[in-house]
Chains A and B, each alone.
Chain A
Amino acid sequence: MENLANITLFILQGAVVTLKIYSITIIFSIPLGMLFAMGKLTKIPPLRWILEAYTWVFRGTPLLLQLLFVYFGLPYLGMELSREMAAYVTFVVNYAAYFTEIFRAGIQSVEKGQYEAAKALGMNFRMTMRRIIIPQAIKVILPPTGNEAVTLIKDTALASVIALAEILRNAKSMVSRNASIEGYIIAAILYLIMTFVIINIFKHIEKRFAYYQ
């Protein structure tokens, strides 16, 4: 029994690391994605091409490869990052690429007539985006954003390959030390609790936007 408490405690320490990766990724990748989505929708060709290449590369290669590249690869190019930093950078840049595409599609889903009506009423571009377009885009953006937010919880486990002591890595070491399965079960329960919370937060937010069709 005491042993089980120790295992749990050790894995919970990993959960702190997991949640840190999670929150830093969410906090930085969502605004970045917003910014990049705007960039993709501008009429400045070089900016659009750069962002196009960026989303293609980061959505088109495995996150696992990106992690290995940043932590083990970049030092060969003279850029050394700590384990934490390597994970933060990789997750933020990777998730920002997904959010860029989600936000771009959301903004583009708003009809042209909405921009025209706003313009005919004398609203400038900023007002139009802030008051008319983005509030409508959010409705479209929320469900896929929720999906990403859940996927990210599970993706944080990839950070174990660069030896970050997050949930999965700590669970694995408990399993091999004790030669018993509890570690994995506790890890699974922790992931389930976290995804359950995230899913319900998004359900709640989506409901708040259900007041119009």
Chain B
Amino acid sequence: MEEIIRVENLHKGFDTLKVLKGIDFTVKRGEIISVIGPSGSGKSTLLRCLNHLEVADKGSISFENNYIAKADATGKAIYKRNKEVIKICSNIGMVFQNFNLFPHKSVLGNIIEAPIMVKGKSKKEAVKSAENLLDKVGLKDKRDSYPYQLSGGQKQRVAIARALAMDPEIMLFDEPTSALDPELIGEVLQVIKNLAEERMTMLIVTHEMNFAREISDRIIFMDDGKIVVDGVPDDIFVNPEHPRIKTFLNKVL
């Protein structure tokens, strides 16, 4: 199947701290991949490198066979012009742990902003597709509410709708349920499950192990800035060969 994202020899550090130490993987269209691993292993940093919220030091990142960053002879990541990078990255949707909704805009305003400003959609068109998306995430009646009037679970569902409104080729989720009260986690996971049924390509960082096991085609286990295992869920949950996975699972399950 067609490749959406390819990452080669990705390195990223903050000052002296090395966070990503040579990451290689690919995402194909329609694949649902969970990224798990201990805190501080670099999961968020990896996701953030994919849509240019962090700038990689070394390696290559490509989207649909176009380089966003390409390693030069020494391995250093050389980025395309900023304008092009922004354009490519607008095809990559992202959902954050703490939602990051725009507080000064209504639910509808949050969703139609980028389609109008970035994609040049007409307001009418944008509103129509926003309403469909709100229906999909079960928040049709919250159209005119403001973010402060919503529960955490509702906010996250709006954030998902907002990302989907850009018709992304892939969705990145960074711990989408970690900031939620336990009773609100289910409604957000359900929305992601529905997307999985439509075969939306997704890369999901999560601590919800049962969820990851249930919905993923592949699971990437990261530790200390490296991918330790990249395989089907059973490789992780049924016969974890690697001792570090065992230790990790014992802690979280």
Contacts and interface: CB of A to CB of B under 8 A. Distances in A.
Interface in B58-111: 83, 86-87, 89-90, 92-94, 96, 98, 100-104
State which size class the interface on B falls in. 20 to 34
B53 A114 contact: no
Contacts of A121: 90, 113-114, 118, 162-163, 166
B114 A122 contact: yes
B211 interface: no
A212 B53 contact: no
B235 to A, nearest CB: 31
A106 B92 CA distance: 30
A78 interface: no
Given A122-B114, A131-B113, A117 B102 contact: yes
Interface string A120-147: 1111100100011001100100000000
Contacts of B90: 121-122
B51 interface: yes
A118 B162 CA distance: 11
A116 interface: yes
B103 A120 contact: no
Which 7 A-B pairs rank lowest in CB-CB distance, beginning with the nearest?
Answer: A122-B90, A121-B114, A117-B100, A113-B100, A120-B94, A213-B148, A122-B118
Interface of A: 111, 113-114, 116-124, 127, 131-132, 135-136, 139, 211-213
Interface of B: 51-53, 83, 86-87, 89-90, 92-94, 96, 98, 100-104, 113-114, 117-119, 146-148, 162-163, 166
